[in-house]
Amino acid sequence: MSEGFAINCMSSPQLAHTAEVSATIRTTRVALVAAAFTVLFYTFEHSAVEFAGGAAAGAREDRVKDEYIDAIESGNTQRKLLLVSYATAGLIAAAQCRSRPWNLRRGAVAALLATLAWAAMTVLFSEEPSLTVRRLAASGLVFAGSLGFARLLRPNELLAVTLATLTILCTNSFLIDLAAGGRPWRSDYRFSGTLHPNIQAAYCGVLCLAAYCFPAGFGKRWLPRILFAVGFVLLLQTQSRGALLALLAALVLVFMMRLPSRVRIFALAMIVSLAAGGTFLLGSLSHGQKGRLTEVILLGRTEQASSLTGRVPLWEQLLGYVSARPLTGYGYESFWTPDRIDAVMKQQQWAIQSSHNSFLEITLQLGIVGLLLTVATVLLTMGHLQSAYTRTRLEGYAFAYGIFVFALTNSLLESNFVKLKYPTVIAWIAMLSILCFYPVDSKHRSPRRPLRLTDKASDANDPLNEASADAAAA
């Protein structure tokens, strides 16, 4: 296996031969970061007034449009301060965390930098250059903060932080929804709480994925299983089919990645056989049975099922805009201007502020060039995550891989992962962690080990600890 070029913060460039990752979770660090993320992203993104108790469903479309346009034109001072705080905390963390050497995956980093450079260049042909500059500045702050936390948190620590924060945020949302009049036992109930149901579904899906990947050792085995069950039930309550499909895809591919290479082909053959058997069984059902099965698959939301709840007509209209500027797009985060929101809403007759497809959303913003660069960066990242998991057997890498599977699948029906949402930030941290701090062990693959909890910054007895990496680099 080729050696990675590592640069330690306190020494000159060198070829690294020892691993800098550890299965140990530093509980104090995880608790502090989880508490900070919970407060920051709840303040940044959540609103009980807008969504609790089905408030979003009863909101008038013109009010939704006006609020979104106000946010575009004036911004939000509190959100700006939170972004600056996130970036500052991340940069301080990066400066203080001297024991984790840089180890760049140069091809993937080049693709990432090309994507960022192209996004910055779109200000030159944006119809709203001032809006593009503001959104670029916000994304720059998120990038800087995420890079710092990518260095601060080991892979399993990022997994633990995600599990803790999403457990708190989803539970809090559900309790607020109940207090505001939500009734989970009613057939028309959609869990939203403090977020739109489709975004809440992404929270619940990533929570399930984190619980599924969480290593054994804390709470024995019952705690992750309980959290998975809670997250899955809440996901079903959102009635979001895209997030449910994304979770199932992520679970299957993470399961496949964990298998030895010799077993993967057999497992794939089994999945294909089950799919073929399911297709045969579906064909043997009566018309009434097919109707009931369809209602179950659609989570009871059978209205406008043929148009994917109005998405197909929306995509057809937005493809007309793509054809007008296919290569360059309309500028980073600058397509949804007040005039276009008004035009699209008038034709579609429902409240719209996104294309409900991340790939289409990227094409509208950055054109086909930006879409290709983005997809290439994500696929290269996933390849490095799979390689890192094979070498270290750390569940944090499996979880990060699953996040990108979830994001790609969910992006077929939603635009959540191209917006500034908490699951998107987790994906950013995971990407920067693997691309900039790839595990530098090149001698052997570590056996899969149970989770260890400690309050110490390092453990001298752990062959994969960060202190060992420093000693070897000196």
* Per-residue pLDDT tens over the stretch 383-392: 999 999 999 9
Angle, CA of 40, 455 and 97, to the nearest 5° = 60
Residues 441 and 15 sit within 8 Å (Cβ to Cβ): no
User: How many Cβ atoms sit within 10 Å of the Cβ of residue 117?
Assistant: 10
Predicted pLDDT of residue 246: 94
Predicted pLDDT of residue 268: 66
Residues 435 and 109 sit within 8 Å (Cβ to Cβ): yes
Task: Compare 47 and 177 and report the one with higher pLDDT.
Answer: 177
- Give which of 28, 35, 41, 34 is closest to 160, Cα–Cα: 34
List of E strands, 80-232: 102-103
Predicted pLDDT of residue 274: 66
Q: In whole angstroms, how far apart are CA 93 and each of 13, 97, 99, 146, 304?
A: 22, 6, 12, 10, 48
When pLDDT is averaged across residues 423-428 and rounded to a whole number, the result is: 96
Q: What percent of the chain has pLDDT over 90?
A: 47
Judged against a pLDDT cut of 90, whether residue 70 lies above it is answered with: no
Give 11-63 pLDDT, tens digit per residue: 333 333 334 456 677 888 999 999 999 999 999 888 776 666 565 554 445 55
Model confidence band, residue 171 (pLDDT cutoffs 50, 70, 90): very high
Predicted pLDDT of residue 468: 41
The whole-angstrom separation of Cα 440 and Cα 102 is 9
Q: Can you say whether the dihedral through the CA atoms of 349, 354, 358, 360 is positive or negative?
A: positive
Predicted pLDDT of residue 17: 37
* AA letter at 400: A
Judged against a pLDDT cut of 50, whether residue 218 lies above it is answered with: yes
Residues 22 and 393 sit within 8 Å (Cβ to Cβ): no
Predicted pLDDT of residue 33: 95
Residues 434 and 397 sit within 8 Å (Cβ to Cβ): yes
Model confidence band, residue 354 (pLDDT cutoffs 50, 70, 90): confident
The whole-angstrom separation of Cα 102 and Cα 11 is 11
Predicted pLDDT of residue 277: 65
Predicted pLDDT of residue 223: 87
Task: Compare 96 and 446 and report the one with higher pLDDT.
Answer: 96
Judged against a pLDDT cut of 80, whether residue 123 lies above it is answered with: yes
The whole-angstrom separation of Cα 297 and Cα 290 is 10
Q: What mean pLDDT value characterizes the chain?
A: 79
Residues 132 and 334 sit within 8 Å (Cβ to Cβ): yes
Give 243-275 pLDDT, tens digit per residue: 999 999 999 999 988 887 777 666 666 666 666
Residues 48 and 193 sit within 8 Å (Cβ to Cβ): yes
When pLDDT is averaged across residues 219-228 and rounded to a whole number, the result is: 82
Angle, CA of 239, 235 and 72, to the nearest 5° = 75
Model confidence band, residue 293 (pLDDT cutoffs 50, 70, 90): very low
Phi then psi dihedrals of residue 358, to 5 deg = -65, -35
Buried b / exposed e over 346-376, threshold 16 CB at 10 Å, is: eebeebbbbbbbbbbbbbbbbbebbbbbbeb
Model confidence band, residue 323 (pLDDT cutoffs 50, 70, 90): very high
Phi then psi dihedrals of residue 59, to 5 deg = -75, 140
Q: Which two tokens stand for residue 410?
A: 């969910």
Model confidence band, residue 288 (pLDDT cutoffs 50, 70, 90): low
Judged against a pLDDT cut of 50, whether residue 215 lies above it is answered with: yes
Judged against a pLDDT cut of 60, whether residue 406 lies above it is answered with: yes
